[in-house]
């Protein structure tokens, strides 16, 4: 029963999220006090959302990073230089009159990739091992770079305390990562690798349930404000729709310039466009206003749409990509 429900949630994660958002706004319009009364439970939801997504991450994968340092460098440069700057430019042009929304878009651009990029990379016949290593390194690099970029870019719109954010980002990433690693080791010992891999497939659903609860708490508290101001959604639409295709295009162009093979290009593309919604939501709730949470709430629908489109087009892209598997070039060789 549990695994059946988990498969259902994993399959329809975006549709369920949309339903949760619509229900939360409707419910919150009539019962706004519920969201405020549930806010003390937000930290528990945050923890139960972040730990399951960390269980599948293996820290020992870092040992392979040195073999592909040039490829990882491409991903890190896009993730922590071009992506934040792109979000900052879009925020300046489209959200300058909405500082809380600008902060949300910039936060999304600053946060690195999530565990789901490994699955998308595999489905699109990309380099899964590189995606896994990129995920781990990006999370660790984000401990320092998320507060830095948030201060530099979002600080012009809202108040940002970089030292407090640094401390909390360290806690948000390090503690769930440590707990997740401990759980993975214990489950692998008790269940064996095969059974653990079956259990691991259900963990994203657990994380999603906690994420839905966080959206419910946040949106019910602000539903009245959102309904009274439909211009909020219109203001967020254009920058949200531009953000992801620009990242995919940028990843493809840099991969082409560096002569990466198709498999590596796919790993790079998903690693820069598959933003960590759970981490972004956690930071938005802890450091920014409920209005910032609103833009974070709509981004998963836009993000998954573009990632699914890339997957659907991947056979065509693979045929057209000039650098095939095993191409003899410095960038794509270990």
Q: Is 125 helix (H, G, I), strand (E, B) or coil?
A: coil
pLDDT at 127: 87
- Identify whether 167 is part of a domain: yes
pLDDT digits (tens, 9 = 90+) for 293-334: 877 877 777 888 888 889 889 999 999 999 876 443 333 333
The CATH number assigned to the domain holding 16 equals 1.20.1530.20
- pLDDT exceeds cutoff 50 at 90: yes
Dihedral (C-alpha) 274, 278, 284, 286: value to the nearest 10 degrees? -150
pLDDT band of residue 64 (cuts 50, 70, 90) is low
CB-based contact 107:162 (threshold 8 Å): no
CB-based contact 303:278 (threshold 8 Å): no
pLDDT at 250: 93
- Give the Cβ contact number of residue 172 at 10 Å: 22
pLDDT at 328: 37
- Identify whether 330 is part of a domain: no
CB-based contact 245:302 (threshold 8 Å): no
Predicted TM-score (pTM) above 0.75? yes
Q: Return the bridge partners of 113, or none.
A: 275
Comparing CA positions, the residue from 142, 132, 150, 148 lying closest to residue 170 is: 142
pLDDT digits (tens, 9 = 90+) for 23-60: 988 898 888 888 778 877 877 877 887 788 778 666 66
CA 27 – CA 260 distance, rounded (Å): 49
Average predicted confidence (pLDDT) for the chain = 83
pLDDT at 120: 84
pLDDT band of residue 179 (cuts 50, 70, 90) is confident
pLDDT digits (tens, 9 = 90+) for 118-147: 778 888 888 888 888 888 888 888 889 999
- Identify whether 328 is part of a domain: no
> Token pair for residue 175?
């503690």
- pLDDT exceeds cutoff 90 at 109: yes
Mean pLDDT across the stretch 93-107? 92
- pLDDT exceeds cutoff 90 at 22: no
pLDDT band of residue 105 (cuts 50, 70, 90) is very high
End-to-end Cα separation, the chain, in angstroms = 44
Q: Return the bridge partners of 275, or none.
A: 113
Which is it for the CA torsion 106, 112, 116, 117, positive or negative?
positive
CB-based contact 100:292 (threshold 8 Å): yes
pLDDT at 297: 74
- Identify whether 274 is part of a domain: yes
Number of independent structural domains in the chain? 1
- Identify whether 264 is part of a domain: yes
Domain range for 209: 2-320
Between 252 and 326, residue with greater pLDDT: 252
pLDDT band of residue 78 (cuts 50, 70, 90) is very high
- Identify whether 333 is part of a domain: no
- Identify whether 329 is part of a domain: no
CA 139 – CA 110 distance, rounded (Å): 11
Alpha-helix residue ranges (DSSP H) falling in 192-289: 193-200, 203-228, 231-257, 262-273, 277-287
pLDDT at 237: 84
pLDDT at 138: 87
CA 42 – CA 76 distance, rounded (Å): 31
**How far lies 279's CA from each of 22, 50, 196, in Å?**
22, 7, 24
> Token pair for residue 101?
């929304």
Dihedral (C-alpha) 301, 302, 305, 310: value to the nearest 10 degrees? -140
Mean pLDDT across the stretch 254-262? 91
pLDDT at 331: 38
- Give the Cβ contact number of residue 180 at 10 Å: 21
- Identify whether 270 is part of a domain: yes
Between 188 and 6, residue with greater pLDDT: 188
């Amino acid at each position: 029963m549990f695994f059946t429900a988990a498969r259902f949630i994993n399959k329809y994660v975006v549709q369920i999220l949309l339903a949760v958002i619509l229900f939360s706004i409707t419910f919150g319009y009539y019962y706004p006090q519920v969201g405020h009364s549930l806010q003390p439970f937000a930290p528990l939801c945050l923890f139960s959302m972040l730990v399951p997504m960390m269980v599948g991450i293996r820290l020992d994968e870092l040992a392979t990073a040195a073999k592909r340092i040039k490829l990882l460098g491409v991903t890190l440069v896009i993730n922590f230089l071009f992506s934040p700057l792109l979000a900052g430019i879009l925020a300046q042009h489209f959200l300058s009159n909405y500082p809380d929304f600008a902060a949300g878009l910039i936060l999304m651009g600053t946060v690195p990739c999530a565990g789901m990029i490994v699955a998308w990379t595999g489905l699109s016949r990309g380099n899964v091992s590189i995606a896994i290593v990129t995920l781990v390194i990006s999370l660790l690099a984000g401990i320092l770079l998320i507060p830095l970029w948030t201060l530099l870019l979002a600080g012009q719109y809202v108040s940002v305390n970089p030292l407090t954010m640094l401390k909390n980002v360290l806690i948000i990433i390090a503690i769930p990562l440590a707990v997740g690693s401990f759980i993975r080791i214990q489950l692998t010992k008790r269940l064996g690798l095969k059974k653990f891999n079956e259990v691991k497939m259900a963990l994203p659903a657990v994380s999603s349930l906690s994420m839905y609860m966080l959206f419910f708490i946040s949106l019910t508290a602000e539903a009245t404000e959102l309904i009274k101001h439909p211009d909020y959604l219109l203001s967020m639409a254009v920058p949200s729709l531009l953000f992801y295709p620009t990242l995919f295009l940028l990843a493809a162009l840099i991969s082409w310039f560096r002569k990466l093979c198709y498999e590596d290009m796919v790993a790079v593309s998903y690693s820069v466009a598959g933003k960590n919604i759970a981490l972004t939501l956690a930071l938005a709730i802890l450091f920014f206003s409920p209005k910032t949470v609103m833009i974070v709430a709509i981004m998963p629908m836009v993000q998954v749409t573009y990632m699914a489109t890339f997957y659907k087009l991947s056979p065509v892209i693979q045929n057209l990509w000039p650098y095939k598997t095993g191409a003899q070039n410095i960038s794509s060789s270990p």
